[in-house]
């Protein structure tokens, strides 16, 4: 994943761009969680990466998640929480897809 892909999706240093994939994700996530975007969810994770420009060091790559990376730790925690699998539409799968 590149910093440019994250920014192109609308996650930027100045915030989420209106009318973007990011704003659509934020809206759906806020609706699903009763009005707020939860910390650690896909929107907040990607916005943090977009604001800091840290996607290259996170472990989300075009060939998969790098072992021993922040991404692999995130995937492991999410899988443990969901009984062994990473849910479609969850933080790990959403961030990896972008």
Tens digit of pLDDT for each residue in 33-85? 898 888 888 888 888 888 887 766 778 787 888 888 888 888 888 888 888 88
The H-or-E segment that residue 5 falls in is helix 3-8
Domains identified in the chain, total number: 1
Please, how many CA atoms are within 13 Å of residue 34, restricted to the half-sphere of its CB?
1
- This prediction has a pTM of 0.67
Cα 21 to Cα 70: distance, rounded to the nearest angstrom: 24
Three-state SS at 42? helix
pLDDT at 1 over 60: no
Range of the domain at 65: 1-96
Q: Rounded to the nearest 10 degrees, how much is the dihedral formed by the CA atoms of 35, 79, 48, 11?
A: -70
User: For residue 57, what are its two tokens?
Assistant: 């060091």
């Amino acid at each position: 994943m590149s910093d440019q892909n994250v920014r192109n999706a609308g996650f930027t240093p100045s915030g989420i761009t209106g009318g973007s994939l990011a704003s659509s994700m934020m809206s759906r996530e806020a609706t699903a969680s009763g009005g707020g975007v939860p910390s650690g969810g896909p929107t907040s994770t990607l916005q943090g990466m977009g604001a800091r420009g840290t996607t290259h060091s996170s472990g989300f790559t075009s060939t998969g998640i790098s072992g021993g990376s922040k991404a692999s730790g995130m995937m492991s925690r999410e899988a443990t929480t969901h009984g062994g699998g990473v849910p479609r539409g969850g933080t790990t799968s959403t961030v990896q897809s972008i």
